[in-house]
């Protein structure tokens, strides 16, 4: 019987290059069978820009001092920074459905369910990947994934208390005129940033469990390192 439980690792602030190697190592370990269960990495990055497989040079407007990474995920250009909840699911889709379209829509649904718990109504936008607010059609979460031998990597970026002005330095996801937003902006939340971020993490975990019909169990970073032969 397939194990429908996922180990969730809350890793805090991790430089993008380190996180990239970490998730690649986990994905390879999952493919090779050294990693017996799926993993969801939840973390933040210092300011960085990443370019997906379909990124255009003209969508990187003012990088200046920001590090830029070209990576294997789908999609165009995006920004990561403190206050943004980044999730990297390392899932063997053989235990779910070997269907990339299904995976993307389910990942979106996990975030839609999570944001509903925060009283933010959201939806999909036809023709695009990601999550938008139902009122005002502002983009609150971006998604870009990679799949190798039906094991996933990369994932989603949900703006919580993100400095939204940073998105002016790019054409987010290659969508001209898109307006980016955050949990903080949509709720007018007066909670401390740490409280709001923790509440969002909890909501995302519950949303992920509901959308994928799984149980998430807390694990330490050292646990995954020992099984993927990295860190």
Q: Which sequence positions are flagged as catalytic? A: 173
Interatomic CA distance for residues 229 and 225, integer angstroms: 6
Beta carbons of 13 and 46 less than 8 angstroms apart:
yes
Q: What sections of 128-192 are H helices per DSSP?
A: 183-187
Strand order in the sheet with 77-80: 68-70, 48-51, 77-80
Interatomic CA distance for residues 154 and 89, integer angstroms: 7
Question: Comparing C-alpha atoms, which of 229, 206, 231, 226 is closest to residue 40?
Answer: 206
Q: Backbone phi, then psi, for 162, in 5-degree steps? A: -60, 145
Beta carbons of 132 and 172 less than 8 angstroms apart:
no
Question: Comparing C-alpha atoms, which of 69, 73, 52, 23 is closest to residue 230?
Answer: 23
Task: Determine what percent of the chain falls in helix, strand and coil, rounding each to the nearest 5.
Answer: 35, 30, 35
Interatomic CA distance for residues 163 and 161, integer angstroms: 7
């Amino acid at each position: 019987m397939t194990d429908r439980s996922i180990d969730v690792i809350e890793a805090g602030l991790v430089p993008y290059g380190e996180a990239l190697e970490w998730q690649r190592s986990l994905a390879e370990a999952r493919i090779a069978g050294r990693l017996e269960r799926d993993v969801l990495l939840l973390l933040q990055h210092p300011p960085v820009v990443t370019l997906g497989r379909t990124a255009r040079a003209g969508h990187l407007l003012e990088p200046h001092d920001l590090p830029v990474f070209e990576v294997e995920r789908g999609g165009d250009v995006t920004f990561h920074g403190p206050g943004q909840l980044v999730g990297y699911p390392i899932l063997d889709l053989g235990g779910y459905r070997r269907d990339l379209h299904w995976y993307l829509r389910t990942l979106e649904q996990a975030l839609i369910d999570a944001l509903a718990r925060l009283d933010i109504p959201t939806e999909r936008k036809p023709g695009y990947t990601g999550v938008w607010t139902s009122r005002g059609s502002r983009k609150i979460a971006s998604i870009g994934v990679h799949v190798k031998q039906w094991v996933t990597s990369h994932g989603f970026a949900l703006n919580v208390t993100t400095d939204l002005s940073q998105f002016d330095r790019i054409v987010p996801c290659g969508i001209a005129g898109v307006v980016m937003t955050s949990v903080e902006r949509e709720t007018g939340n007066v909670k401390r940033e740490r409280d709001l971020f923790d509440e969002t993490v909890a909501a995302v975990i519950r949303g992920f469990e509901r959308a994928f019909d799984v149980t998430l169990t807390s694990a330490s970073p050292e646990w995954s390192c020992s099984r993927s032969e990295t860190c």
